[in-house]
Amino acid sequence: MKVLNWLKDNLQWLLGSLLMLGMIYYIVGCQPTSQSLLDPDKHVTGDILMKEFQLIAATYEKRIADIELQQKIRNILLQESLTLANTGQLNPVGILTSLMSIFGIAATADAVRSRKRLKKMSVSITTSSDETTAEKSG
């Protein structure tokens, strides 16, 4: 009987305390998550989502650079074929020099830089993703 009387007298305080504890747990313990850009079945935090976006942006830049390289090669071949059609002379040294300058300097430097950046980002995303999974399970 004493317990029921105490509960009746302190019900508002008890419910308020439980509500406050629940809110504190939600605010402190639960980080906001969203669907992953790379794996929609997975939920990730804002930091990991930003890293995934940077990885996608780096991949986009790499592919645009590849398209630009193909366009440059196409333009060189078009110019040389027009020269051949107009003058009747083939300039193999000019073709080789142009192609080597494109392949040797631009493509190699961009590919090395892109590979290093993509590798660093993918390792960072994997590490952060593992940490988030450990936090949620713990």
Convert the pLDDT of each residue in 41-58 to its tens digit: 999 988 999 999 999 999
Average confidence score pLDDT of the chain: 79
Nearest alpha-carbon partner for 121 in 48, 65, 46, 62: 48
Cβ 47 vs Cβ 128: under 8 Å? yes
**13 and 75 share one domain:** no
**85 and 117 share one domain:** yes
**104 and 131 share one domain:** yes
**73 and 112 share one domain:** yes
Convert the pLDDT of each residue in 102-135 to its tens digit: 666 665 666 666 777 666 666 666 665 555 555 5
Number of domains composing the chain: 2
Per the structure, the complete domain to which residue 74 belongs is given by 33-137
**23 and 77 share one domain:** no
List C-alpha distances in Å: 94 to 82, 88, 100, 105, 107. Answer: 13, 15, 10, 16, 19
Instruction: Indicate if the alpha-carbon torsion angle 81, 87, 90, 96 is positive or negative.
Output: negative
**92 and 126 share one domain:** yes
Question: Looking at the predicted structure, is the pLDDT value of residue 92 above 60?
Answer: yes
